[in-house]
Amino acid sequence: MRIKNAIRIFVLAHFAVLVLLFLSKVVYANFTVAMLSSMLILMGSLYSYRTMINQRVETADIEDNKDVIDMMDDPYDLYEEERENEVADIKQMIKEEKARQKSNIVQNTTKNASAWISLYRLIPYAFLILGFLALNNNHSLIVLPYLLGLAAGIPLGYFISRELFISRSSEHLE
């Protein structure tokens, strides 16, 4: 059912774009290449991020530990004695946390690299570049329909991706 809905969205959008064919073949080509490029880029990005998040959720080690900040924000003063010691060292704690966050930048970047360098994203970007170059080399590039096509592909890619990749809460309840 999800694939049928995604195909319906794409076909309806393409029928609307076919009106441009009556205007000019060049305008239609510019709009279609840009729309398909941005649609595929968005779909690839959402799919690769979805798989990355699902992998992290499966391998996540969930602990139920209170950290220092939670203990400091205790509204009932259950940790009053500990809090006095912590307030004295809060500046040092903040400096240590900032240093830890800075050291984690490289680690977080390498963890997210799988979503950046996914073939689901690289192939649509190659299609975008090659489509632009093909239109430009054939002296068919018209910037306005191309930019409008890029803009139109974003919501179209989102709606198709939502049908294909994004789970609905009602499906989780069943």
- Are 49 and 161 within 8 A, CB to CB? no
DSSP letter at 61?
A: -
pTM of the predicted model as reported, rounded to 2 decimal places: 0.66
* Residue 106 exposure: Cα atoms within 13 Å on the Cβ side: 3
* Residues counted in the chain: 174
The two three-digit tokens of residue 133, written as one number: 């170059």
Query: Is residue 125 classed exposed, middle or buried when 0-12, 13-18 and 19+ CB atoms within 10 A define those classes?
Result: middle
Per-residue model confidence as pLDDT tens digits over 86-142: 555 677 777 777 777 776 776 666 666 666 677 888 899 999 999 999 999 999 999
